[in-house]
Amino acid sequence: MTTTAETRGFQAEVQQLLKLMIHSLYSHREIFLRELISNASDACDKLRFASLADPALLEEGSDLEVRIDFDSAARTLTVTDTGIGLTRQEAVEHLGTIARSGTAEFFSRLTGDAQKDSQLIGQFGVGFYSSFIVAERVEVLSRKAGQPATAGVRWSSAGTGEFTVEDIDRPERGTSVVLHLKEDAAQFADAFRLRQLVRAYSDHIAFPVLLRPDGGKGDYDRANQAQALWTRPRQEVGDDEYREFYRHISHDPGEPLAWSHHRVEGRREYTTLLYVPSRAPFDLFNREAPRGLKLYVRRVFILDDAEQFLPLYLRFVKGVVDSGDLPLNVSRELLQHDGEVEAMKSAITRRVLDMLAQLAEREPERYRTFWKEFGTVFKEGLAEDAGNAERIAKLLRFATTRSEGVEQDQSLAEYVARMKPGQQHIYYVAAESIVAARGSPHLEKLLAHGVEVLLLTDRIDEWVVGHLGDFDGKSLRDVAKGSLDLGDVVPAGERKAATVSSSALEPLCARVAAALGERVAGVRPSERLADSPSCVVRDERDVGPQLRRLLEAAGQPVPPSRVWLELNASHALVGKLEGLPDGDAFADLATLLLEEALLAEGGQLEDPAAFLRRVNRLVGAAEDPLIVVPGGN
């Protein structure tokens, strides 16, 4: 055949990555073999799936396997698979470029610590390039299944700024990756060392990994069990095997927080192996990113990201589902309209929730890690999965006003157990940060009576509690909305005194309402303030400021609302206001009380410059400035 060779330059991101591989990442160098075997296994999986529609692809042989050859004298190591193979164009595209988004995120995670940085390899689809940690030159010889022998391709590079690609004759389908090892990597051209690494990293691979004990001579021996891990009885699988299988399917070098291995028999037969990661992926908040479980039908790989088996709020879960009932030619479209799949989804969802509940009960510290990493997306389940709302509610965690030295993530059950005698509601306040929430004037009377309050700081929290409604018979109440009747929590004598002072303040409230006009829905005495002069309160059904900002950012229409201004009858500033006659000074101070209340809840003023001029006028005109400074006593 006519050989057409050409030399091309690497994509800029690849050059940067190769430089990192060659010069920096020397810790855990053996990961290159894990990545090459994993890639070879994926190629075999893809061919097995493609052959379901086109059996002719396996005419050259149905054996799907991975072979390892080495030559100690020549310092070469070759990993060969009998999988799907590559065309010339695919070799150029897959080995000369990287998806830019994944690469950018890869580099953003680098710490400068070689050991930690090497752990990221594979997680962002850059596993092949780990070959250059141990190799001074790499060759890839490949032919696509179903193509003639003349359609082979050779790709080669020394890991510098360019690579060469040329057409070759290749009798067998699949891919061979040939590593020309560096002098200090000669240890990897050794049968004992290679077998040790296969057992450690790739024992769970579902295809045979074959190794010649003497390199390029003699018969191959099987180096791994070549049995799908999820098909083995749970009691025969060790924790280390479960952890390594997680790394294989997730490309996450860390450890999972929890896993569940379960076989269902009866009307439906399927096996699941589910994992909860210990850290969030970089695209967790991208609801359109690939997600889901690896789908097998009778141990035949079908789909890589079968999202139909878990709801969107559990998109962080990794794992495998192997069905004995679904047809081998099942597609994503068929899965979306299959009643059996929907029933499996419901059962698998409950199993994940049960796994999380056990983690929360038995290992609370590990559950706190889960909540820190995935709590925000997990909350979406209250709106998306009404059937499991009760289970989800028990797994929610919130910061509260409980003392500073206590762990902040509290369950609703723990909150209810600590409720004050006579307390009827679960109280919460929404703010942009924990500091802002703790400083909210709406908490003052509650804290004065020892009532604990949930501190909600995620943008979706108001939306979440709106779907929750109540827990254990206790309704959730926003302390910044509607009336705040603490009932028996407040002693009868105090309640009576508050009623008297509120009645005395009614005339002032009417004057302030007239001065503020349409800027407020009304003015009334406050039943929630203890130290601040004023606060703003919304009606029960109004959208709060946190949810309002979320809707506006999403381009959603937000219904208009006006706030109520509440005044603290016992505050000196309110007393000063009451003593002023109607006029400009009265209007300035009344407006200032409204504006400082809006600022306290994290709102924005329509005219900040006017606010500053108003403060300056009042401070400059006061005989005792301390009396009229906002918030002063």
Span 584-633, pLDDT tens digits: 889 999 999 999 998 888 777 888 888 888 888 877 766 554 444 444 44
Average pLDDT of the residues in 450-464? 88
Sign, CA dihedral 515-521-524-529, equals negative
Mean pLDDT of the chain: 84
Instruction: Name the residue with higher pLDDT: 336 or 575.
Output: 575
Q: Which CATH number is 5-226 given?
A: 3.30.565.10
Please tell me which of 96-100, 496-500, 544-548 the model is most confident about, judged by mean pLDDT. 496-500
pLDDT of residue 122: 42
Between strands 209-211 and 135-143, the pairing is unpaired
Average pLDDT of the residues in 103-130? 53
Cα 127 to Cα 121: distance, rounded to the nearest angstrom = 5
- Helix ranges (H only) for 428-491 are 434-438, 444-448, 461-468
Cα 126 to Cα 96: distance, rounded to the nearest angstrom = 11
Average pLDDT of the residues in 192-211? 85
For residue 329, pLDDT beyond 70 = no
Q: Calculate helix-pair angle for 461-468, 545-553, nearest 10 degrees.
A: 110
Of the pLDDT bands very low, low, confident and very high (cuts 50, 70, 90), residue 297 is confident
Q: How many CB atoms lie within 10 A of CB 216?
A: 12
For residue 14, pLDDT beyond 70 = no
For residue 218, pLDDT beyond 50 = yes
For residue 547, pLDDT beyond 60 = yes
The helix/strand/coil state of 526 is coil
- Count H helices, E strands: the chain? 22, 22
Between strands 162-168 and 5-9, the pairing is antiparallel
Instruction: Name the residue with higher pLDDT: 96 or 50.
Output: 50
pLDDT of residue 397: 94
Average pLDDT of the residues in 269-289? 88
- Whether 221 and 212 have beta carbons less than 8 Å apart is answered as yes
What DSSP character marks residue 530?
S
- For a pLDDT cut of 70, what percent of the chain falls above it? 87
pLDDT of residue 516: 94
- The alpha-carbon radius of gyration of the chain (Å, integer) is 33
For residue 152, pLDDT beyond 90 = yes
Looking up tokens 């050409």, which residue turns up?
6
- Helix ranges (H only) for 310-401 are 332-336, 339-362, 364-378, 381-384, 389-395
Of the pLDDT bands very low, low, confident and very high (cuts 50, 70, 90), residue 123 is very low
Whether the pTM exceeds 0.75: the reply is no
pLDDT of residue 246: 92
Instruction: Name the residue with higher pLDDT: 68 or 253.
Output: 68
Nearest to 89 by CA among 39, 144, 41, 170: 144
pLDDT of residue 632: 43
C-alpha angle 471-372-305 in degrees, rounded to nearest 5: 95
Nearest to 50 by CA among 289, 328, 283, 307: 328
Average pLDDT of the residues in 299-328? 86
Sign, CA dihedral 597-601-603-608, equals positive
For residue 485, pLDDT beyond 90 = no
> Picking from 48-62, 182-196, 351-365, which range would have the lowest pLDDT averaged per residue?
48-62
User: 398-423 b/e with 16+ CB inside 10 Å = b?
Assistant: bbbbbeeeeeebbbbeebeeebeeeb
**Digit-coded pLDDT (tens) for 550-590:** 777 777 777 777 889 999 999 999 999 999 999 988 999 99
For residue 484, pLDDT beyond 80 = yes
Kindly list the domain boundaries of the chain, sorted by start residue.
5-226, 230-375, 399-550+561-628
Nearest to 128 by CA among 243, 31, 245, 247: 31
Of the pLDDT bands very low, low, confident and very high (cuts 50, 70, 90), residue 17 is low
Average pLDDT of the residues in 109-126? 49
pLDDT of residue 357: 97
Q: Which CATH number is 399-550+561-628 given?
A: 3.40.50.11260
CATH topology of domain 230-375: Ribosomal Protein S5; domain 2 (3.30.230)
Cα 260 to Cα 26: distance, rounded to the nearest angstrom = 34
Q: Maximum distance among all alpha carbons in the chain?
A: 106
Average pLDDT of the residues in 388-413? 85
